[in-house]
């Protein structure tokens, strides 16, 4: 099935799009997937990127790439405090980005050059709105988080006025009437030494998005209809929910981390649908105690597992040194640990949110979409073991799998001709060509 269709691919648009991803794994992946989607629709693509976490350009010979100096030292360019990093980049990238964009615009003069239709940036690059306006270029933003979690970030000023910050443990289980079905503990937390900077970053990104030319979502109407409706009420700009991007193209080629191929041969030896995939993503870190609780929970569950332990996942350790001597041998081949492997798709989820929009996503996974289970308590081996068994071996897991198959069918239908994401993509193409 060609989910992209071929209505545009044979007719060159003669228009170029400039894309500017945020230099973090969870933001580069969807931006480059979007670039592939738009390229398949006959647009030419130029990617502007920072030196920090720059993508592997050799994976994309069909795109043009422009690197800009972000002027951040190795100490500054750290994901240990994301708020400090993103705030810094929004200041230090202004001049080099403007110079790069201005040069690209000046190079398209002449009859045979492709005019630049618009700029598409990650919504967190809030400074780019003023730059685009000064160069008389339309800016569309890409939101890489879920619509539901974005609405929570956008509500930060209201939540602040109502006294939710700082979040108190004594109130953690209380509902948030302004944002059902969330509880207080689901309000996004970002570890930072600069609390005021976080709120300013969120406010700036939200305000500049509100005056942009539109918003692309890596989501679909069938999954997020209520949240999309709420977004449209609060943000009167064109919106294009064209996701899920990963159903168009594989995410692995845009990974900043090398994929450990040994997982493939190990998985081939396992019974289908018997393996649990464990990953804390590309940024989150846990302490040694939490790491060991997860390890023993996995081991005691007796369920085969593929565990992604990213170097730096465990604070104070290089890799898996905290594991007891002989731990892997006791598993008798039932577990496989790698440094990186792409996330699994269309399977039941056990969520242990660490920071940011993961809290909101976990609540929606367990309570709204009901396609997974939420580890509500601290990481503790008994709880990890029980939850794994519940999802993998018991009736609850079977019910989750049924709902996942229904959702998967919806995802496939939305990408087919006449589906909501298909139509949103067609609308986006027409909209870009109208500039």
pLDDT tens-digit series, residues 76-92: 666 778 899 999 999 99
Is pLDDT above 70 for 8? no
Q: Which helix (H) or strand (E) holds 338?
A: strand 335-338
- Cα separation, 294 vs 316, in Å, equals 17
Task: Tell me the whole-structure pTM to 2 decimals.
Answer: 0.89
* Whole-Å CA distances, 286 to 112, 262, 358: 54, 25, 15
Please state the separation of Cα 358 from the chain's center in Å.
10
Burial (CB < 10 A; 0-12, 13-18, 19+), residue 32, is buried
| % of the chain residues with pLDDT over 90 | 73
- Cα separation, 31 vs 144, in Å, equals 8
Specify the pLDDT at position 25.
86
Give residues with Cβ within 8 angstroms of 327, minimum separation 6.
295, 299
Specify the pLDDT at position 258.
67
Secondary structure (3-state) at 216: strand
What stretches of 41-146 show up as alpha helix (H) in DSSP? 82-92, 94-106, 128-134
- Cα separation, 370 vs 86, in Å, equals 33
Q: Which helix (H) or strand (E) holds 349?
A: strand 349-351
Could you report the per-residue pLDDT of 274-305, keeping only the tens digit for each? 999 999 887 888 999 999 999 999 999 999 99
**Mean per-residue pLDDT, 40-47:** 96
Residue 212 backbone dihedrals phi, psi, to 5 degrees? -75, 175
Q: Which two tokens stand for residue 214?
A: 């539109």
**Mean per-residue pLDDT, 170-183:** 94
pLDDT band at residue 11 using 50, 70 and 90 as cut-offs: low
When the pLDDT of each residue in the chain is averaged and rounded to a whole number, the result is 89
Q: Which two tokens stand for residue 107?
A: 């190079």
Q: Which two tokens stand for residue 41?
A: 């629709």
Bond prior to 140 in cis (omega within 30° of 0): no
Task: Transcribe 128-152 into DSSP letters.
Answer: HHHHHHHTT--EEEEE-S-HHHHHH
Could you report the per-residue pLDDT of 205-228, keeping only the tens digit for each? 999 999 999 999 999 998 889 999
């Amino acid at each position: 099935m060609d989910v992209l269709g071929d209505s545009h691919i044979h007719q060159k648009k003669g228009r170029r799009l400039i894309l500017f991803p945020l230099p973090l794994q969870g933001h580069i992946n969807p931006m480059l997937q979007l670039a592939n989607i738009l390229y398949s629709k006959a647009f030419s693509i130029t990617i502007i990127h920072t030196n920090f976490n720059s993508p592997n350009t050799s994976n994309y010979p069909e795109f043009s790439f422009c690197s800009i100096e972000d002027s951040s030292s190795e100490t500054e360019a750290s994901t240990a405090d994301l708020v400090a990093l993103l705030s810094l980049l929004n200041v230090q990238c202004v001049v080099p980005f403007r110079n790069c964009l201005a040069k690209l615009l000046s190079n398209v003069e002449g009859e045979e050059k492709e005019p630049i239709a618009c700029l598409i940036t990650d919504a967190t690059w809030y400074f780019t709105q003023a730059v685009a306006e000064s160069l008389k270029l339309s800016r569309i933003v890409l939101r890489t988080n879920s619509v539901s979690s974005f609405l929570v970030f956008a509500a930060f000023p209201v939540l602040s006025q109502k006294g939710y910050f700082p979040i108190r443990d004594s109130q953690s289980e209380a509902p948030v009437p302004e944002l059902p079905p969330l509880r207080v503990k689901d309000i996004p937390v970002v570890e930072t030494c600069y609390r005021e900077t976080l709120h300013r970053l969120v406010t700036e990104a939200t305000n500049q998005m509100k005056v942009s030319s539109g918003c692309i979502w890596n989501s679909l109407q069938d999954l997020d209809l209520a949240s999309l409706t709420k977004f449209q009420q609060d943000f009167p700009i064109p919106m294009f929910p064209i996701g899920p991007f990963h159903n168009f193209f594989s995410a692995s080629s845009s990974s900043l981390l090398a994929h450990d191929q040994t997982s493939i041969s190990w998985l081939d030896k396992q019974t289908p649908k018997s393996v649990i995939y464990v990953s804390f993503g590309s940024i989150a870190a846990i302490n040694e105690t939490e790491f060991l609780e997860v390890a023993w929970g996995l081991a005691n569950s007796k369920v085969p597992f593929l565990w992604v332990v990213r170097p730096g996942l465990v604070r104070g350790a290089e890799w898996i040194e905290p594991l007891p001597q002989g731990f892997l041998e006791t598993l008798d081949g039932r577990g496989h640990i790698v440094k990186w492997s792409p996330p699994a798709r269309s399977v039941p989820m056990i969520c242990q949110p660490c920071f940011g929009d993961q809290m909101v996503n976990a609540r929606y996974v367990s309570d709204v979409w009901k396609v997974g289970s939420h580890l509500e308590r601290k990481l503790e081996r008994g709880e990890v073991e029980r939850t794994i068994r519940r999802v993998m071996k018991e009736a609850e897991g079977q019910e989750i799998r049924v709902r996942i198959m229904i959702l998967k069918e919806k995802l496939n239908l939305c990408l087919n001709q006449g589906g909501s994401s298909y139509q949103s993509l067609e609308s986006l193409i027409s909209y870009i060509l109208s500039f």
